[in-house]
Amino acid sequence: MSMEMAAWNSIYHAMHAREDQRPFSLPALRRIASFARPHTRHLAWFVVLSVATAVLTVASPILAGRVVNTITGGGPLEPVLFLAGLIAAVAVLEASLGLVVRWLSSRVGEGLILDLRTTVYDHVQRMPVAFFTRTRTGALVSRLNNDVIGAQRAFSDVLSGVVSNLVTLVLALGVMLALSWQITLLALVLLPLFVVPARRMGARLARIERERTVHNAAMGTQMTERFSAPGATLVKLFGRPEDESAEFARRAGRVRDIGVRTAMVQEVFFTALTLVSALALALVYGLGGFYALSGSLDAGTVVSMGMLLTRLYAPLTSLASARVEVMSALVSFSRVFEILDLRPLVEEGEGAREVPAGPVSVEFDDVSFAYPSADKVSLASLEDVATLDTSEQREVLHGVSFRIEPGQTVALVGSSGAGKSTIAQLTPRLYDVDSGAVRLAGVDVRDLTFASVRATLGMVTQDGHLFHETVRANLSLARPGATEEELWDALRRARLDELVASLPDGLDTVVGERGYRFSGGERQRLTIARLLVAGPEVVILDEATSALDSTSEAAVQAALAEALEGRTALVIAHRLSTVRAADAILVVEAGRIVERGTHTELLARGGRYAELYRTQFAADDSAAVPAGQAVS
């Protein structure tokens, strides 16, 4: 490696090093070793061949010196040809070993990335919903990308660099001292002119690079938000494209200015290093030439010293920044471990069993619940805040008890924020209750396997979320083994089959980001079709028909009535048509059930349900209220 290349590597790693370097504990290092353990064999060969490559790097200058001595000594041609062939063989072997070392480096590095990414991804999927409601998606994705790659460098670039550079340095220094200790010591005098600027310039470039990263991140965030369907719609509705363009141009211009500064700083630095390199070589050849002419050295030794000089300065420069590189990689590991150390609040218990076969009831037994505080489910760095909120969260459910018998439909109504959706989220165990119990078929959900709960219970939420995939993929998410006939049957029962059949690619049509190629009602019907594909024993509809017009709602209600026959259902809605036919209606206010009964019974009482009827449901009721009922 040339001196200029070594300096560039040093600057590059300094530019991309982290500011938040901190000491690393022995347990953390053991934890890193546990990730490296599956790659031990490749790592061992990687280190051995890196050492062999370093030895060959030093061998070439020695052989070149002997060639010069043989030529200047007027020796026969055969030794010169033999040494030349040996130099060629060393070069071929060094190149071959370099390829193998690179393959091993990539194998270990990419294998580590795979292990870390899958481990973090699997762990994040086990986190509670509260984690995702607080976390910035971009920050979380960064842990899976940038930090995992930064951690991988510890086993590829850093390990390889430290091993090979250390061996090369020791061998080069030993050989140079053996050849001429006077020239070697004098050459080392110029070392600070090479190493110190590299470190200082690297720190300066690191500050510039971090500023560039901030502006690039801001541009990325602006593009991500404004280029999404809802973001672009919002900008157009408020007529602000010029302002948005000006703000983006300002940030892009700042990145341009930083790029110019970076290019000039690097050019000045490399020009200075080229000069230092030339001076160092001039010193070696000048002083070496003096000793050679005086008979103290031979010409081949002078040539070897000049070639070994690059083998000395280059590893010294790289090792000077090794600590920064190592700490940067370790910090990346620590940021990955931060995610892995977040304990999922909802975990499958030991000895968890399947939901009992047969009809399934749903029971809430004196359930109280408060959403977990931020310090229990999140990280400050993922929320982009200085410190997490550690205050106790207020309780949102207070002693809620009810039972839905197999095959019954129970509706929850009440004001916004009363706790209806919280009840819906506790049923499939998206959260765990603080006290009391939620039971399926008489068994506490905390004693059931996740797989059996998910297979038993299906849920349609208000937002009707779809992935940016095909109609087929979004439907098959509910049951990957569903046949095409079953998918079309679900679409038919959701009154969506004609629409999908009219699309150019049918089931293979991509729905767009969050399903924005479809209308709100169509998206919701597609999520209901997904529920029908799953065919669960228990169904939860959380405002499932809120996005539908009257015609679509009537069609879907008919399909749901067919699909829910014989199944246990919990329905949450603000619209009367969704709840009036329920076997029982529970009125939830301030986290408590304040009324329960049928539609007719609750209207007759003239209580909270009757009040909700007047304010929310009356417009949906095509029939007049019978005389004598206390709703007027």
Question: How far is Cα 155 from Cα 559, in angstroms, rounded to an integer?
Answer: 57
Residue 148: in which H helix or E strand, if any? helix 148-152
Q: State the chain's mean pLDDT as an integer.
A: 79
Where are the domains positioned within the chain?
3-340, 362-376+392-620
**Which pLDDT does position 252 carry in this prediction?**
83
> Does the structure show a pLDDT above 90 at 297?
no
Structure confidence at residue 44 (pLDDT): 87
Reduce the DSSP state of residue 343 to 3 states and report it.
coil
Q: How far apart are CA 95 and CA 99, in angstroms?
A: 6
Most confident option among 31-40, 201-210, 291-300, 364-373: 364-373
Q: Which two tokens stand for residue 274?
A: 């080229």
Determine contact, residues 525/495, Cβ cutoff 8 Å. Answer: yes
Per-residue pLDDT, 439: 94
- The pLDDT, as a whole number, for residue 150 is 73
**Band of residue 592 on the pLDDT scale cut at 50, 70, 90:** very high
Residue 119 has pLDDT above 50, yes or no: yes
Question: Of 84-88, 298-302, 552-556, which has the strongest mean pLDDT?
Answer: 84-88
Residue with tokens 């949102």: 396
Please state the pTM of the whole predicted model.
0.70
Higher-scoring residue by pLDDT: 420, 274: 420
The residue ranking higher by pLDDT, 554 or 406, is 406
**Whole-angstrom Cα distance, residue 427 to residue 543?**
16
Nearest to 560 by CA among 409, 404, 406, 361: 409
Q: Which two tokens stand for residue 455?
A: 């297979």
Residue with tokens 């129970």: 410
- Which carries the bigger pLDDT value, residue 531 or residue 24? 531
pLDDT, residue 584, reads: 92
Sorting pLDDT into bands at 50, 70 and 90, what band is 624?
very low
| Residue 319 vs residues 59, 165, 198, 313, 325: alpha-carbon distances, Å | 21, 7, 12, 10, 9
Q: What is the CATH number of domain 3-340?
A: 1.20.1560.10
Distance, CA of 288 to CA of 276 (rounded, Å): 18
25's tokens: 């504990």
pLDDT value for 623 = 41
Query: What value does the mean pLDDT take over residues 506-524?
Result: 79
* 33 touches 159 (CB < 8 A): no
Q: Are 208 and 262 in contact (CB under 8 A)?
A: yes
DSSP strand E in 243-332: where?
none
Per-residue b or e along 222-248, where b marks 16 or more CB atoms closer than 10 Å to that residue's CB: eeeebeeeeeeeebeeeeeeeeeeeee
Q: What is the Cα Rg of the chain in Å? A: 35
Separation between Cα atoms, residue 75 and residue 78, nearest integer Å = 9
Say which DSSP state 574 is in. S
Q: How far apart are CA 227 and CA 278, in angstroms?
A: 52
Of 12-16, 262-266, 465-469, which has the strongest mean pLDDT?
465-469
User: Do the beta carbons of residue 180 and residue 223 sit within 8 Å?
Assistant: no
Three state DSSP letters for 501-526: HHCCCHHHCECCHHHCCCCHHHHHHH
Q: Which CATH architecture has domain 362-376+392-620?
A: 3-Layer(aba) Sandwich (3.40)
pLDDT band at residue 622 using 50, 70 and 90 as cut-offs: very low
Q: Measure the CA angle with vertex 165, ends 160 and 169; round to 5°.
A: 160
